[in-house]
């Protein structure tokens, strides 16, 4: 069994900083906060403004060579640096698609993926901080039979991305896997800085 907050991030910790002043954000309600991000909604149900302070989040969501496809968040616009977080990293404003918490079939799929990842982390525990990298790699090469091909391809793309950037994977935290309104599972926030 996977604990609900078994990921390597610090579940339950939210970014303490206020929302930076920016004309696109004025008067918008907060939708949520993470360890290094703040999400605000313009209320159209299609897009959100995500303020990120972690380079890992920025690389994952906006780098030219980021993974793309049906299981990755869609970036509409990178509005650039809008301030500095108390952590010392820059705040960057990204306009991305509005995602939802997983439910139904997407939740079951997320649980299967997290379980396979957890089993891989346990198998490669002797590799220390690299166990998550190895777990992803092996899911992409020897996937569980119940994972759809599109998700296996997404895991392979995520594994390749992680090899090119100074980030570690985290697909155990349930808040790092979300879905679109059509039920498609999205790897919404599966990386962090070690």
CA–CA dist 93, 170 (Å, integer): 22
pLDDT above 90 as % of the chain:
85
* Mean pLDDT on 44-64: 97
What lies within 8 Å, CB to CB, of 32 at 6+ separation is: 38, 39
Q: Which of 98, 92, 74 is nearest to 24 (CA)?
A: 92
Which has the higher per-residue pLDDT, 130 or 174?
130
**Confidence band for 13, pLDDT divided at 50, 70 and 90:** confident
Give CA 43 to chain center in angstroms.
22
Lowest mean pLDDT, pick from 12-16, 35-39, 78-82, 164-168: 12-16
Determine the pLDDT at residue 153. 97
List b or e across 136-149, with b for residues whose CB sees 16 or more CB atoms inside 10 angstroms: bbbbbeebeeebee
Give CA 8 to chain center in angstroms.
13
Lowest mean pLDDT, pick from 4-13, 68-77, 161-170: 4-13
* Mean pLDDT on 11-29: 91
Are 177 and 107 in contact, with CB atoms under 8 Å apart?
A: no
**Confidence band for 156, pLDDT divided at 50, 70 and 90:** very high
Which has the higher per-residue pLDDT, 45 or 11?
45
Are 94 and 79 in contact, with CB atoms under 8 Å apart?
A: yes
Phi, psi of 169 (to 5 degrees): -80, 150
CA–CA dist 70, 10 (Å, integer): 27
Give CA 162 to chain center in angstroms.
12
Q: Is the pLDDT of residue 98 over 50?
A: yes
Determine the pLDDT at residue 175. 82
Question: Residue 30 is inside which H or E element, if any?
Answer: strand 30-33
pLDDT above 70 as % of the chain:
94
């Amino acid at each position: 069994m996977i604990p609900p907050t078994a990921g390597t991030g610090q579940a339950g910790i939210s970014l303490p900083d206020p929302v930076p002043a920016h004309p696109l954000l004025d008067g918008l309600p907060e939708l949520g906060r993470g360890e290094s991000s703040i999400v605000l909604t313009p209320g159209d149900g299609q897009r959100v403004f995500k303020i990120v302070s972690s380079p890992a989040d920025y690389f994952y969501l906006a780098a030219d060579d980021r993974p793309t496809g049906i299981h990755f968040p869609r970036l509409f616009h990178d509005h650039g640096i809008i301030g500095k977080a108390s952590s010392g990293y820059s705040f960057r404003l990204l306009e991305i698609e509005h995602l939802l918490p997983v439910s139904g079939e997407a939740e079951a799929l997320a649980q299967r993926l997290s379980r396979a990842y957890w089993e891989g982390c346990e198998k490669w525990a002797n590799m220390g901080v690299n166990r998550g990298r190895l777990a992803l790699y092996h899911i992409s090469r020897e996937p569980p039979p119940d994972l759809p091909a599109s998700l296996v391809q997404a895991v392979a793309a995520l594994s390749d991305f992680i090899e090119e950037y100074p980030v570690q994977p985290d697909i155990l935290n349930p808040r790092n896997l979300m879905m679109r309104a059509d039920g498609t599972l999205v790897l919404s926030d599966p990386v962090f800085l070690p």
